[in-house]
Structure 1
């Protein structure tokens, strides 16, 4: 021991550590009008907390059929006011484009030249004899030429985006064999390393009706970065599946059955704008978590949609009574119901139901809570990995967990929870390999899916006739 003379002090680590929770983050993979963006980004996660951020980073057109990420921008920021959202655009202006068949003549109007087509790629615009053109987009998404351009007409050539060229394979993505870069849904792996937020909801509106896309979404959501858990939200096709009685068969035929996946049908609409159920469901889930300190213990079922109708892709109205909506629910399919209180999301179950009835897996709310539990444990106790396995470490983990779980219990966010370090779970063969196991007992509240009133006549009340 070093020689000391005087008063000294040392510090010990706090015996209890605070839980490290994170926001409910929705991640969308799809297409955006990136020709309008400040900087074109393809297959790169973009984190946004506001409408302005998203529009600047991705561009915006109210054409949700061709630009699926615009549906998410509108839903989260304009309709529900929920954030944060991560967007991954797969539409590449270098690949998904089409050249105009021949030079187009543009006539000056209001002292400016405007190419009245959406999707025009500014870098592709060529006017013979004129260089150093500047551009801006108007509110309709049309490209306006800025600069000293003589004459009343100009001949222009240009390329336009062709979002119809984007396929399910682009959404699924993978690893680029030449560069090693991630593409499509594979980019979800980059969200946490880049932004330190956990991608807890995984969506691909329109494209998730493809069974291959839905399958990869489920796989990605179930194990993110090898440690985190999320929930994939998919839709069942409304172009070909037009009768509610055909929906369960479509679900089974597409193998949509997992605790890490929800399936919804049909679409909803607000005025002339159509939205996928998955998008609005994500907004509801995110909003409920935000209202409760990030704890997603409430079910999204029977919560208000931003809609005034349910529709098929062709705009045909779909009006389901409670009995028909419950038929879909009984097959693990969420839907939209207009019964009491306006249009509501209706359905508590993940897509593994009814084949799987374990409440941990079958209910959306419990799946979200188990994901929340897992992700919080990972982020909180990662700092203790590789520490010496001794009583101090064990007590720190057990005490910290129990204090956190007691807090959730007192808030009504769980019914109860506790952590135990048990000898039978930790044989010597595991301990000498550097492995320890802690057992968590955890009970989230389940949704009151059926409230039943038993009614009968009590003949004793006839006595009141003689009083």
Structure 2
């Protein structure tokens, strides 16, 4: 060491580092979208923060009248989600995957003739999903060319609008007032199967890995640096295989992060609240990572899956609690005016009916006091598993959120020397954060320890360390009883 004759300084690593903030309620949804209105993106995860961004990426088709039920239903599950998430509840962001491939999931448009009006030289084709590249339009004089003879656009209902261009003399190129022959293909969401939602992993011709469907949840953190809080697939999660795979993905995202999944019971076959439990058990929907919902919701005649609205509702509740998911969504207002089955039959549950569903680990709705509200605190593992960390929705979510936060915060310590300073830095950092959660009553108690009995010398010498956390999130106060007693001794007051 060189001879020194000076005043100088040096730095050491801070013994306490800031905790990484982890959003608790970012939904990851896999479904179908009218991507003919956008760029046709299929099997790519997109991060959107608001309604405008979502519509730009995926298009939007509003709910359409359904003759069989007398209600309005969404053709595309992602359109349902976009409207619920960003319009009804006003929460964001969201991670969205469309699996509808216009090249595969398509059918022939039923419209074969159109007539451009004589005033504006335009016409609306009364169908949604029209694939622009497939359009052919011709008159008695021959074929007409898009971009040269006419323009195409989509109106707010997702319907195609054809407008004639003008020639150099200012006359409309496309004949108006007479029938034109029209042909096209259109997106057909009915051709999307559960296998498309589940997806998979394959190898492309370039040797690179190709992910589809649910498998794309693995790309979320590498691409966007965020951790999903929910996995959902409204319209498909009532399939037992889809629900099982959703749960498997939720508990091991990138093998280190955890989430929950929101599933629905099919109301086209399960038409009574008394039949829900049998369907649940028959289909083995009993995982702590699953939240099961029945029946459907309707908002002024428009149908929504409870799972769709529950994701947005939990995001709203979390937002009111600084992003901490410690409060249950139960007894919180839904954006709905009633509950229905798929065939349009109205469902009116009494309190005992709703309690029966809750006792079987099912979330429902209850119009009792203060309007229609989500009702139920239990995950699908209840009643076979009564462990609070597994069976209560807010506790299960809080445990996931704490785990995700600690993983992200302590990743910076990975591969650093396992010495006393590192042990103290990790424990001090996490304990100070946990103390803050306790002080704000998001947790009742929380401690972190580096225990000698859990860290044998053989593991420490191999670079393996273990830290033991004890946390106690508050349980939802699901049963409040007032004991009222008649006190006859007070009658003595009549004599004084």
Deviation at 1:457, TM superposition (A): 1.9
Deviation at 1:145, TM superposition (A): 2.4
- What do the CA deviations read for 1:329-385 (whole angstroms, capped 9, x no partner)? 001011100111110100000000000001011100100000011000011000110
TM-score after normalising by structure 2: 0.91
User: 2:155 & 2:162 partners in 1: Cα distance?
Assistant: 11
Aligned residues: 465
TM-score, normalised by the number of residues in structure 1 = 0.97
Structure 2 residue aligned with 1:82, among 88, 91, 96?
A: 91
Partner of 2:67: none
CA distance in 1, matches of 2:26, 2:357: 27
Measured against aligned partners, the alpha-carbon deviations of 1:288-335 in whole angstroms (never above 9, x if no partner) come to 111111110000111101111011011111011110100010010111
Q: Which residue of 2 aligns with 1:62?
A: 62
1:297 equivalent in alignment to 2:326:
yes
- Give the aligned partner of residue 29 of structure 1: 30
* Counterpart for residue 359 of structure 1: 388
Residue 414 (structure 1) aligned with residue 443 (structure 2): yes
Whole-angstrom distance in 1 between the partners of 2:344 and 2:190: 20
CA distance in 1, matches of 2:316, 2:152: 38
2:277 to 206, 223, 248: 248
1:425 and 1:437 in contact (8 A); partners too? yes
State the match for 1:112 in structure 2: 122
Q: Residue 195 of structure 2 aligns with which residue? A: 169
Asked if residue 423 in structure 1 is aligned to residue 452 in structure 2, the reply is: yes
After superposition, where does 1:88-167 map in structure 2 within 5 Å?
Answer: 88-100=97-109, 104-109=112-117, 110-128=120-138, 129-133=143-147, 134-146=151-163, 147-148=165-166, 149-152=173-176, 153-167=179-193
Cα distance in structure 1, aligned partners of 2:277 and 2:2: 75
Match of 2:369 in 1: 340
Partner of 2:260: 231
Q: Distance in 1 between matches of 2:429 and 2:239?
A: 44
Between the aligned partners of 2:14 and 2:251, the Cα distance in structure 1 is 33
Alignment of 1:416-455 (within 5 A): 416-455=445-484
Gap change, CA 1:2 and 1:164, over 3 Å in 2 = farther
3-state DSSP of counterpart to 1:176: strand
Corresponding residue for 1:17?
A: 17
Q: Is the CA contact 1:21–1:294 (under 8 Å) kept in the aligned structure 2?
A: no
Change beyond 3 A, Cα 1:217–1:2? farther
Aligned partner of residue 22 in structure 1, secondary structure: coil
The verdict on how the C-alpha distance between 1:436 and 1:144 changes in structure 2, with shifts beyond 3 A counting, is: same
5+ unaligned residues in a row in structure 1: which ranges? none
Contact 1:310 1:319 in 2 (8 A): yes
Query: How far is the alpha carbon of 1:123 from its aligned partner?
Result: 1.2
In 1, the alpha carbon distance for the partners of 2:15 and 2:204 equals 49
Superposed displacement of residue 192, structure 1: 1.0
SS of residue paired to 2:446: strand
**Quick check: 2:286–2:381 contact (8 Å CA) kept in 1?**
yes
Q: Is this contact kept in 1: 2:61–2:74, CA < 8 A?
A: no
Give the Cα–Cα distance (whole angstroms) in 2 for the partners of residues 451 and 217 of structure 1: 34
C-alpha separation in 2, matches of 1:431 and 1:399:
20
Counterpart Cα distance in 1 of 2:470 and 2:28: 30
Worse-superposed segment, 320-329 or 148-157: 148-157
- Range moving further from structure 2, 429-438 or 173-182: 173-182
Q: Deviations over 1:163-194 (max 9, x none)?
A: 10001110001113446311111111111111
1:4 to partner: Cα distance? 5.3
Aligned-CA RMSD value = 1.4
